Chain A
Amino acid sequence: MKPTVFHYPAKLEGEDIPLVRFHEVTKRYGDLVVLDSLDLDVAEGEMVAIIGPSGSGKTTVLRMLMALEKINDGIIYVDGEPLTHMSRNGGLVWADEKHLRRQRLNIGMCFQHFNLFPHMTALENCIEAPVQVLGMSKADAIKRAEELLDMVGMLEKAHEHPSRLSGGQQQRVAIARSLAMRPKVMLFDEVTSALDPEVIGEVTTVIRKLVHKHNLTMLMVTHQMGFAKEISDRVCFFYDGKIEEQGPPDQIFGNPKSERTQQFLSAVLEAN
């Protein structure tokens, strides 16, 4: 059986290509359409907040970009290169596992439930992939991991196992672990949703630091409207697998055009 050949551009070129591009991306689970022909560009250094009701496809966007699941249609580019596809015989075909693994190096992801490796200390969590995947020497990896743990305020706990850390502390280690791979894009998937209210601040402080000091490109799915408003360059409101409305935070939160956005925001504000 010959693989299907796609005729998307094999490379995005030009001055102002986006760091991330979703082009007509569709994701289905059986009959359920989770992402419906999504177009989304993220510029380098941009912080995009993704909000919306549950089931609107916002987490799916991150999972597709991390290549944890395959898309059904369309194409995703990262830094001009296809992520979901690869070049073969003058066209593009669906990416194989090897291509995906290489492309994933560009992307880091933090999860709602942290997903630290429980049998490794905080430091070991942070050096595992740099040593095994990037081939860094152990000494270099440790040095870098210690800098990052220091940056997230967790250097003192470097030799603790995750079970001895609070949720907020685990999430900060998880952020350091992702950064250790030097990704071009960081994804935050509801990173404060599983945390007790009093420790949310320690995680948002770290993310704030990343935005202001390190100018990292980020996509953040969140339920914290206040934080999204404060920190993001752009807010995307998802509804039914599509971007219902997007714009600068002042516009989305201050003067939303779409009725659905208005309804969602007033419902969220009421709940708080």
Chain B
Amino acid sequence: MFDWRWEFVWQITPRLVEATGRTILAALLGYGIAMVLGLFFALAQRTRFKLVNKPIREFVEFIRSTPLILQIFFVFYVGPQFGVMLSPWPAGMIAIGLHYASYLSEVYRGGIDSVPKGQWEAATSLSLSPTRTYYRVIIPQAIPPAFAGMGNYLVGIFKDTPMLSVIGVAELMHTANSIGSEHYRFLEPYTMVGVIFLLISLPTAAVLRKAEVKIRRKMGLR
């Protein structure tokens, strides 16, 4: 009943390794988009202009309350109706980037809120402009408390990349599916996908924990 074939494992390893590279690329690209966009969302929600902060807040809330897979389908299949024709990769990156930007914006917000009021007042009393205050004083102090949350979402986005397979992004899951249907064997490819995710997620989480301690120390924070 338990029929594990090693020679099949060796046969499909090169394809899966190649797909792993694409999965990592997708996760990093998506995360890069999410980091930048998330910061924009977080700062936009803090402006005094209601015309900016209200819609952004609603948008973030909307994204966080609907499933990622729906958002992926929406960008890829509904986009063309509005004249936005995207191939799987850009569509996937936009969808997953937006999704995680919404989560990261909340992490940033928590980090920014954790900076004491006195820091804003000191910056004001030294006549630093709002931009300088954010860039030089507030954000550097907001990152260490936000770091743990940011790390969780990095692992999270990595684990969510298989959802991109539904629109044909040839990442790890998509490749495992193809192999399975070509050879009528699913045990080995799916097991290997699980092991690969584990082998990447666990060390990443450990490295992030170490990095957090290092960053705090380097910034002179305890």
Contacts and interface: CB of A to CB of B under 8 A. Distances in A.
A244 B167 CA distance: 75
Interface stretch (B15-23, B64-72, B128-136): B128-136
A162 B127 CA distance: 21
A109 B125 contact: yes
B132 A132 contact: yes
A82 interface: no
B152 interface: no
A133 B121 CA distance: 16
A268 B219 CA distance: 42
Interface string A111-151: 10101111111000000110011000000000000000000
A118 B124 contact: no
A68 B220 contact: no
A41 B219 CA distance: 43
A111 B120 CA distance: 12
Nearest to B124: A68
B5 interface: no
A108 interface: yes
B125 A119 contact: no
Interface stretch (A20-28, A43-51, A99-107, A208-216): A99-107
A218 B124 CA distance: 19
B121 A181 contact: no
Contacts of A104: 124-125, 127
A113 B220 contact: no
A111 B122 contact: yes
B118 interface: yes
B145 to A, nearest CB: 12
B183 interface: no
A69 B91 CA distance: 47
Contacts of B222: 163
Contact of B121 (A68, A108, A163, A178): A68
What DSSP secondary structure best describes chain B's contact surface?
Answer: helix
Interface residues on A, range: 20 to 34
B161 interface: no
Given A115-B121, A119-B140, A132-B136, A181 B126 contact: yes
Given A66-B125, A128-B126, A132-B132, A119 B219 contact: yes
Interface in B137-195: 137, 140-141
B221 interface: yes
Interface in A55-113: 66-68, 101-102, 104-105, 107-109, 111, 113
Nearest to A119: B219
Nearest to B130: A97
A144 to B, nearest CB: 14
B114 interface: no
B122 A116 contact: yes
A128 B132 CA distance: 10
A257 interface: no
A118 B221 contact: yes
Interface core residue of A113, A119, A163, A164 (most chain B CB under 10 Å)? A119
13 contacts: A66-B125, A67-B124, A111-B118, A113-B118, A116-B122, A117-B119, A119-B141, A119-B221, A133-B126, A133-B132, A161-B219, A162-B220, A181-B126
Interface of A: 66-68, 101-102, 104-105, 107-109, 111, 113, 115-121, 128-129, 132-133, 161-164, 177-178, 181
